[in-house]
Structure 1
Amino acid sequence: MKKLMISGWLALFALPAFAQQNFTTPEKAATALADAVSTQNDTALNDLLGENWRQYLPQQEADPEAVARFLRDWKVGHKIIEQGDTAHLNVGREEWQLPIPMLKTAEGWHFDMAQAEDEIQTREIGRNELSAIQAMHAYVDAQNDYHQRFQVYAQKLLSTEGEKDGLYWPTQPGDDPSPLGPAYSPVEPDAGYHGYRFRIIPDTDKQGFALIAWPVTYGETGIMSFMIDENDKVWQMDGGPLSAQKAKAIKAFAPEKPWQEIEQ
């Protein structure tokens, strides 16, 4: 699975029609955007992207690091990739691609926010899927840690209050940390972690362990469902809109078709 850079760019809502500034070349459009972001010129950003750009780009006061990262990469290097009537801006040594394409019309080049919404959501899904896989590898490490301490594998992610019967429990200053960190204990119950929910698959003989993960909202927070075993091998499957029901119905670890092992 291709690694996607965590960008901080967000998209949450559909956009109404609006008039945007046009340029004779995509290079001029990209430079105007960099200048507007650098000076935090809201009027210029409105002209370039439309009045709803705040739903798409991090603002200085909300995410200063994301803004600084874009400007830093711009100074390192930037180039335009044209494909017919569409162009993309790549910045930095890694040539990270801005998820807002530029579109050529009879009036000139302008930033295409309609396509940006789909692209940003696609990247968000990819980021969530990578985070889910990383969380599952952390789960394997946590189970091995737990086994070293208690000579059994944990059957729960979160411990019962006052107990250590799961992989995470609250600690006090000076205490040894629990095998899993507090990120696995959501503030809101059943809120998920990076767009995914997780469940330990029961192991009847207690000789191994497995975990399954599925998207909180299929098609929005993730596409693939994942399973991992004690050997740190990951399988994936596209469970479709019924991903949650299919995941909850699994009673034992048996990665048969349509599950496929991920090359790592």
Structure 2
Amino acid sequence: MNASKQLIPAILISGFLCLVGQAATPGGNEMPAKREKAAAAVPPPKQKEFDTPEQAADSLVQAAAAFEVPALREILGPDSGDIIASEDPVMDKQRALAFVAKAKEKQAIEINPQHPDKAILAVGEDAFPLPIPLVRKNTKWTFDTKAGVREILLRRIGANELDAIAICHGFVEAQLEYAQTKHDDSIVNQYAQRIISTAGKQDGLAWQNTDGTWAGPVGEGIAKALEQGYAKKDKPQPYHGYYFKVLTGQGPAAPMGQIDFVVRKAMIGGFALAATPAEYQVTGVKTFIVSHTGIVYEKNLGAKSLDLFQNMERYNPDKSWQPTADEW
């Protein structure tokens, strides 16, 4: 299915919301204890100061283009932490280059007349604002990275939630496509009960052919990501801050009431998916559910989101769940 297979590039681009890097998230890109101790033992370099905000912006773009981590840390200062370099150097570099590409389109310094000692670097034709502001102290300009960290977190949460909603919609389209064809010598059309098929079968939205190639409504990349995230040994990893789960039934609050989707081992009664943040208020806030109706519902399940998600088996959008405001 084209829409679901196109989710990967769209989601990668959305990582630009954090620009220059993304803070490591617990359960995902945590810094090992040894590295953390080593980092603490090395005193951070003095943050670089600039005569003008334009000079600061140019230096940042140049360092990002070369992906020079020491130079970026010097420019952004001791509070830059893991927003420059996490445990995923490939993704770090992709974000840095995405920022540079936008800066090459257009870059400008925006200063609020009411606050002349503060400035924002805007990049791209759409004048996208860098989350880290520039501030002037004693005639010199520096990046106020400490103030930008909170903004980066908020943007990351927003981007992750939009990604999760998009994946929910893509899941619906993929299931509808899957059900158009009979699989594994089945006598009935049915929905997939898994993201990745059991070896030698087509009981999931993606499967591996005998020649090693992949097929199905969902591409290999996103299928593996949704099922196991960025795999790290046997520890499941969230995908863009979220875990996803196929639900096998619906509760009394759903249209037509309580139904088991699976009848005699075939999922013919419908389908549903749930998504929850890997770490509440860090990688996301809201939990999402979607069914064959195509409507994505959201709810803030609080600090116990992950526990509630792990015990969730049925799609049950009671009045405490609200439709998302997205336009799909």
**Pair 1:137 & 2:169 matched:** yes
1:91-102 aligned within 5 A: 91-102=123-134
Distance in 2 between the 1:22 and 1:134 partners? 41
| Alignment match, 1:209 | 271
CA distance in 2, matches of 1:142, 1:111: 44
Aligned residue number for residue 71 of structure 1: 100
Structure 1 residue matching 2:199: 3-state secondary structure: coil
RMSD of Structure 2 on Structure 1 (CA): 3.3
Gaps of 5+ in 2: 1-10, 25-30, 183-188, 250-259, 262-267
How far apart, CA to CA, are the structure 1 residues paired with 2:149 and 2:119? 16
Match of 1:10 among 22, 25, 30: 22
* 3-state DSSP of counterpart to 1:168: strand
Flag the 1:24–1:174 CA change in 2: closer, same or farther, 3 A.
Answer: closer
Q: Sequence identity, in percent?
A: 31
Task: Give unpaired runs (5+ residues) of structure 1.
Answer: none
Q: Is the 8 A contact 1:218 1:243 kept in 2?
A: yes
The answer to which of 50-59 and 111-120 deviates more is 50-59
CA distance in 1, matches of 2:219, 2:65: 37
- Could you give the per-residue CA deviations for residues 124-153 of structure 1, whole angstroms, max 9, x where no partner exists? 222222221222122112211221113112
Taking a change above 3 Å as real, the CA distance of residues 35 and 179 of structure 1, as seen in their structure-2 partners, is closer
Query: Under a length normalisation based on structure 1, what TM-score does the superposition of the two structures give?
Result: 0.81
Q: Say which is worse superposed, 29-38 or 111-120, in terms of deviation.
A: 29-38
Deviations 1:174-233 (A, max 9, x none): 867123332322234532322211122222154322111101121222111101111221
Q: Structure 1 residue 162 and structure 2 residue 200: aligned?
A: yes
Quickly say closer, same or farther: Cα 1:43–1:141, change in 2 above 3 A: closer
Separation in 1, partners of 2:270, 2:223? 21
In structure 1, which of residues 174, 180, 184 is the aligned counterpart of residue 223 of structure 2?
Answer: 184
Residue 31 of structure 1: CA displacement?
A: 2.9
Q: Is the 8 Å Cα contact of residues 136 and 211 (structure 1) preserved in structure 2?
A: yes
Shift of the alpha carbon at 1:235?
Answer: 0.8
Q: Does structure 2 retain, via aligned residues, the 8 Å contact 1:235–1:260?
A: yes
Change (3 A) 1:191 1:261: same
Q: For residue 194 of structure 1, what is the amino acid of its counterpart? A: H
Shift of 1:21: 2.7
TM-score (norm 2): 0.67
CA contact (8 A) 1:58 1:66 kept: no
Q: Give CA-to-partner distance per residue, 1:84-141, whole Å, 9 cap, x none.
A: 2432100110212222221233453211121232222322222222221222122112
Contact 1:184 1:193 survives alignment (8 Å): no
Q: What's the CA shift for 1:246?
A: 2.1
The answer on 1:48 being equivalent to 2:75 is yes
Corresponding residue number in structure 2 for 1:199: 245
The 1:67–1:216 alpha-carbon spacing in structure 2 relative to 1, beyond 3 Å, is closer
